[in-house]
Amino acid sequence: MEEARERVKSGYLKEKFRLFHLKDNEPKEYDYHYHDFHKLIWFISGAVEYHIEGKSYRLEPHDILLINKGEIHRPFVDHSALYERYVFYISSEYLEEHSEPGSSLELCFCMSAKEHSSVLRLSPAMSRTLFETVKLLEDSENENGFAGNMYSRILFLKLLIELNRCCIANPEVFHKTARYDKKVVEMIHYINENLSKELSIEAMSSRFYLSKYHMMRKFKEETGYSMHQYILEKRIQAARNLILTGVPATVASVECGFKDYSTFSRACKKILGRLPSEVF
């Protein structure tokens, strides 16, 4: 059970944000997983195809990946080349805390969902400007100068502001070339927009005019999840988000497609290894 839970949820964030500079030059397996925080990846080098919610992106140096919290993803890496990247873990609460009316720092992640693309491919000039801030931030994380933590926070906010301005002024930076199965992506969108509705295998098969077994096989191939597991995970995430806004767990569980609170509680125990009262 512990191994299964680690497969679907990976990484923990106790700070407001974290920066990792990672280099992999030895074979390593990555599982499909998701986070309860946003993830920004600045890709430096390697031969990598990144899968996010049923879409596959072949990365180029200095591509930026925007992975919304709860999105299922996994890199497929050819280890004949060094896989180098900067990875930011970002709390959505941190983005809300530092946003202003009409100026949400979460906008770039929202635009990613709206533009149906998780990859930003900037012009060389824009990339250089933003990457200078990334390097300054890395340097500040490794020094103990005066007001070091404050300086790191200021640099990170600067990076977020510049990135959002870039997305607003140049929406074409969202890279639209991705490999995906059209039917599977349609099913993913339908599931996420209709969690409170009937999403049984039979109902989905009928709605998308596919045989049950072909549909389940294709969904697993493209997402790494069985359809049942995917729906269960998304319903738990949605219920969690409602509970954290103050909605009673009994109400949130039903609104997110669970028959009742006890069904929701059993699902949390199975997937997360803990009861809702222990998790949320």
Query: Is 158 in the same domain as 187?
Result: no
CA dihedral 255, 258, 264, 267 (to 10 degrees): -130
Of 173, 192, 223, the position where a domain reaches its end is: 173
Residues 31 and 117 reside in one and the same domain: yes
Residues 94 and 217 in one domain: no
Q: Which residue has the tokens 């096989």?
A: 217
Would you give per-residue pLDDT tens digits along the chain (280 residues)?
A: 333 333 445 555 667 899 999 998 888 888 999 998 999 999 999 999 999 999 999 999 999 999 999 999 999 999 899 999 999 999 999 999 999 999 999 999 999 999 999 999 999 999 999 999 999 999 988 777 788 889 999 999 999 999 999 999 999 999 988 999 999 999 999 999 999 999 999 999 999 999 999 999 999 999 999 999 999 999 999 998 899 889 999 999 999 999 999 999 999 888 888 888 876 6
For the chain, how many structural domains are there in total? 2
240 located within any domain: yes
Q: Are residues 155 and 192 in the same domain?
A: no
Residue 119, helix vs strand vs coil: strand
178 in any annotated domain:
no
Residues 150 and 30 both lie in one domain? yes
Whether residue 67 is found in the same domain as residue 204? no
Strands (DSSP E) contained in 25-170 are 38-45, 47-52, 55-58, 64-67, 73-78, 83-90, 119-120
Which domain, by its residues, includes 232? Answer: 183-279
Last residue of a domain, one of 130, 146, 173: 173
- Looking from the CA of 55 toward its CB, the CA atoms found within 13 Å total 21
Same domain, 49 and 169: yes
- 38 and 165 in one domain? yes
